[in-house]
Structure 1
Amino acid sequence: MLMGCESTSSTPISANDPYYAPVQPIDKRESIAETGSLFSAISANSLYSDVTARRVGDIITVTLSENTNATKSANTRTSKESTANLNPVVGLGAQPIRIGNEAIQLGVDSSNEFTGDAQSNQSNSLQGNISVTVVQVLANRNLVIRGEKWLTLNNGDEYIRLTGVIRPADISPSNEIQSNKIANARIQYSGKGTFANAQEKGWLNKFFNSSWWPL
């Protein structure tokens, strides 16, 4: 029954999660040219290329601009009425059977009515910036990015975590990309500490609002 108090499973959040740690670029060593040239084919860029992220370990800035609005309403109404009457019970001679001065007869009346109305409105907005690192370069040149940012306040911590896949063509010359251009994006914004605990329901309140409560 205590498991019903939790609507979703929660895992401890820490600032030093290795999954979100920056990825170090792979040091690819190559043989030194016998000519003594300083040119390196591995680290060389095109004369027409810009300084945007394209390799594992490169840093890119994500501009968070998320706005969602959802509205849902439902209205249901059902009604049912039924009536059944039985004529007076007759006996010998087709005369009604009486108890006292009243003839025996049966009647049933029933009615059922249901009315339901539900409405839900939700709006969310997230604005800001976060710098993440490239953790993988896919075969089609798309980049897998991942990173986090922690802010320590007086009464707790706030953090932003982001993962997703981006196209190099969507990166601006200033090495920035909009969050709405990230594929398979996972953005987490939450906090820990006094402020976060004050907005969380207690275990008894969660039980009364869970499916385990029969009312």
Structure 2
Amino acid sequence: MKRLVAATALLALAGCASFVGDVRPFEPIAPVVPVAGVDPALAAQAYPGAQPAPAVGGHAASGSIYASAASGAAYGGSRSMSLFEDNKARQVGDLLTIVLVERTSSTSRAQTAVTKDSGFSLGAPVIAGVPVTYKGQSILQAEVEAGREFDGAGTSSQSNRLDGEITVTVVRALGNGNLLVSGQKQMRLNQGDELVQVQGIVRVADIGPDNRITSDRVGNAQIVYGGRGTLARSNAMGWLGRFFNSAAFPY
């Protein structure tokens, strides 16, 4: 009894500390960007938690009409403008819009039925025309019957759909034409907050001319959508209910 009370108390404290029902976001990726020639304060504001890469040589002002574009890569100054390059995201710090088109659906059904009956009967034997008895009762007559039956069925069905758009930031250029992107959107509503988080790997070749890509083209995608606050917590099971529905409950 004492152990049960202690376990329920621990679950209660854990539930109060973690606010059961609130979405749990993943840890965002810290970008690695060169900051040579850039005010560190500005770099910290643009990329919180960024890790500076080794400094690279800057471009000297040459008076060219493309000089401003070449120095437009404020973090590193190594990005040059090409007459044949479109506006697709390619460098660290570029923005990319991901169109969420997630669809998942699953159905599972199982049914099992087992039945077994068995019986054994031994009549009263007769020896020399006389039944074998003891104190008037037959002692060798026996009859055994046994039966076993099991019937089980289970059905599971789940469907999810997520639509929308979120603009993410290129946090790393992997060097093989792939980009590591990460971003989030937070919306504060009257009854709580809504959070959308996306991160993963995209190919530059898959990015459309409008600088968009669908979420089914994102590799190693991690997508989080959920809420925090009154509405999210009202849909969560309480700590005592979770205990009685957990594997720790013996009955």
TM-score (norm 1): 0.83
Gaps of 5+ in 2: 37-55, 71-76
- In structure 1, the partner of 2:101 is 65
Q: Distance in 2 between matches of 1:100 and 1:140?
A: 98
Aligned match for 2:246, one of 194, 197, 210: 210
1:131 aligns with 2:153: no
Q: Distance in 2 between matches of 1:49 and 1:124?
A: 38
Deviations 1:163-213 (A, max 9, x none): 110000111111111001001111010111000110000011111211222
* SS of residue in 2 equivalent to 1:20: coil
1:167 aligns with 2:219: no
What RMSD in Å do the two structures reach over aligned CA positions?
Answer: 3.2
Deviations 1:80-124 (A, max 9, x none): 111122332667x57333356542311110010111111111010
1:68·1:124 contact (CA, 8 Å) conserved in 2? yes
**Structure with bigger RCO (C-alpha 8 Å, 6+ apart):** 1
Q: Distance in 1 between matches of 2:26 and 2:235?
A: 28
Aligned match for 2:133, one of 81, 94, 98: 98
Q: Distance in 2 between matches of 1:144 and 1:94?
A: 97
More helix by share: 2
1:30 aligns with 2:57: yes
- The change in CA–CA distance for 1:90 and 1:45 in structure 2 (over 3 A counts) is farther
Q: Compute the displacement of 1:25 (Å).
A: 4.1
- In structure 2, the partner of 1:74 is 110
Q: Which moved more, 1:42-51 or 1:182-191?
A: 42-51
Q: Distance in 2 between matches of 1:133 and 1:198?
A: 33
- In structure 2, the partner of 1:53 is 89
Gaps of 5+ in 1: none
Q: Compute the displacement of 1:32 (Å).
A: 5.0
1:185 aligns with 2:221: yes
Q: Distance in 2 between matches of 1:157 and 1:76?
A: 45
- The change in CA–CA distance for 1:177 and 1:109 in structure 2 (over 3 A counts) is same
What number of residue pairs does the alignment pair up?
210
Aligned match for 2:184, one of 148, 164, 172: 148
1:22·1:147 contact (CA, 8 Å) conserved in 2? no
Aligned match for 2:157, one of 100, 107, 121: 121
Identity across aligned pairs (percent)?
A: 35
| One-letter amino acid of the structure 2 residue matched with residue 103 of structure 1 | S
Q: Distance in 1 between matches of 2:26 and 2:125?
A: 86
Q: Distance in 1 between matches of 2:201 and 2:102?
A: 17
